Amino acid sequence: MKTIIIQGSARSTGNTDKIAQLLKKQLKADRIDLCLKNIHPYSYEHHHSEDDLLPLMRTIVEYDLIILLTPVYWYTMSGLMKNFLDRITDCLKVEKETGRKLRGKSLATVACGSEPQAIEGFFTPFVLSAEYLGMTYLGSLHTYVRQALPDKANIKSILAFTEKLNKENS
């Protein structure tokens, strides 16, 4: 099973990346950093087909499990992750064959905040997007980092989540 982590933080080496590194190790996953990609906001006229989105999606659809990892910014996903999700529309309108390859793939979401409690409704857009795209949603995990590294309880929940993902995708 091939797994990809798509990290959507404004900082490539911030707290969200600390979570990405744990996930990557436990899942033997590859990682894409959206901060290093040129992905424009959605355009109804699809003016941005020359940016990094479509080539990136052609790579992503080759994976079995896609994990979206985002920091919590103002009670929701990052702008980078929102642009990425919005632009998946290009794969349904412009490059339909790529979009169709998302059907049957597995999706999971991980959030990294600064508080131990998840924001109510935070994961709803991800669940509904998976449903709309015909993907199997495997679950969500809220993590947080307050100090230099996630605490022991947080690491324990990350390990349990990755074990669940490994079982469901083996």
Indicate if the pLDDT at residue 49 is higher than 80.
no
Region 87-111: mean pLDDT is 94
Q: What is the CATH number of domain 3-165?
A: 3.40.50.360
Domain locations in the chain as residue ranges: 3-165
Q: What is the pLDDT of residue 152?
A: 87
Indicate if the pLDDT at residue 50 is higher than 90.
no
Q: What is the bridge-based pairing of β-strands 30-33 and 3-7? A: parallel
Which pLDDT tens digit goes with each residue over 100-153? 999 999 999 999 998 889 999 999 999 999 999 999 999 999 999 877 778 888
Checking 83-86 for CB contacts under 8 A at 24+ apart, the result is 83/39, 83/40, 83/41, 83/42, 84/6, 84/8, 84/34, 84/39, 84/53, 85/125, 85/129, 86/41, 86/42
DSSP 117: S
pTM: 0.95
Q: What is the pLDDT of residue 21?
A: 94
Give the DSSP H or E segment for 80.
helix 79-87
pLDDT band per the 50, 70, 90 thresholds, residue 82: very high
Q: What is the bridge-based pairing of β-strands 136-144 and 30-33? A: unpaired
